[in-house]
Amino acid sequence: MDGYTERITAQRVAVTFDDPALANLTPIERVILSSNGTLQRILSAFYNAPIDVVVVKNLAKQKEGVKDTWVVDREIHLMCQGERLGVAVSQLVITKREYFDLLITKSVGLGQFFKLQFVQPAFVLTEVRKTDRELYRLYELSCPGVVCTIGETFPTWVVDTDRPAMLAKKPRPPTPL
């Protein structure tokens, strides 16, 4: 993506948003938008509360004419104490049966999937937008056996520093066993 640079060497990591159109991003917005598969974890730390993935749609079709390849249309909501923090709409291309079982049959979240597989996915950020009302990013996460193209939308208040305290005052639902 023009205006976004990520450089990693043995001693240095540099992540920069240098597009003038993105000059108004706050530090926490830059963290959220550059997260590479760990967003649920970052939001949990920010809110000091569990973040749940609610799978809204998870429709898989075998790719026509290709054995053991599935195309999945997926939508999830990131929830914190009953409040929707964001929506992710994605398309997955899965070429490993065991990954299909985890992601489709068991509806494992993508962040949890990569963690469970001990894989750091390749991350390519392709688009970032900020309006008065929302943050949006389009990116790809991939590893051998799965490619995920993901569009995420968040209300701008999701990273308001007063928001965690407001949610903390709400009664928490019981944690499932």
Interval 35-82: pLDDT, tens: 987 899 999 999 999 999 999 999 999 988 888 899 999 999 999 999
CA distance 32 to 21: 17
Domain limits of the chain?
Answer: 4-157
pLDDT band at 176 (very low <50, low <70, confident <90, very high): low
* Mean pLDDT of all residues in 93-106: 91
* Mean pLDDT of all residues in 136-164: 93
pLDDT value at residue 121: 92
Residue (of 92, 88, 85) closest to 50 by Cα position: 85
Distances (CA, A) of 13 to 9, 120, 139: 6, 15, 19
Interval 7-32: pLDDT, tens: 999 999 999 998 888 888 999 999 99
Distances (CA, A) of 106 to 21, 98, 112, 134: 40, 11, 12, 31
Q: How far from chain centre, in Å, is Cα 110?
A: 7
Bridge partner list, 138: 127, 151
In this structure, whether the domain defined by 4-157 belongs to CATH 1.10.3720.10 is answered with no
